[in-house]
């Protein structure tokens, strides 16, 4: 039985951690934007909702099948560019 392991440098591991955190934040931001659009589409005012309510609605939106995956694919290029291509030169 042959196993292969990928060894990452500390810098690569840090980039992966940063990438995942940034991806999650960007997806949640997009979900909040979608929820705000839905609120406006109903004719309600966004400012009638607390930030907590909007965040809870965004989490419910992401829990629905397919929404998280669609938003992840939407923001992945931006996050990838930001994390992996703009590293300061040392």
Axis-axis angle for helices 51-63, 10-41 (nearest 10) = 100
pTM above 0.85, yes or no: no
Here the tokens at position 31 are: 């979900």
What does the longest C-alpha to C-alpha distance in the chain come to?
62
Would the pLDDT of 51 be above 80? yes
The three-state DSSP-derived secondary structure of 34-48 is HHHHHHHHCCCCHHH
> 55-87: per-residue pLDDT in tens?
999 999 999 999 999 999 999 999 998 888 755
User: Averaged over 6-34, what is the pLDDT?
Assistant: 92
Domain edges within the chain: 22-84
Question: Residue 89: its pLDDT value, please?
Answer: 58
Distance from C-alpha of 9 to C-alpha of 23, rounded to nearest angstrom? 21
């Amino acid at each position: 039985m042959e196993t292969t392991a990928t060894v990452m440098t500390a810098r690569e591991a840090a980039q992966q951690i940063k990438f995942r955190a940034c991806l999650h934040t960007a997806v949640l931001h997009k979900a909040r934007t979608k929820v705000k659009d839905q609120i406006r589409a109903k004719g309600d005012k966004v400012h009638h909702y607390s930030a907590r309510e909007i965040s809870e609605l965004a989490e419910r939106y992401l829990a629905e099948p397919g929404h998280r995956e669609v938003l992840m694919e939407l923001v992945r290029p931006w996050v990838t560019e930001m994390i992996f291509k703009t590293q300061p030169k040392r």
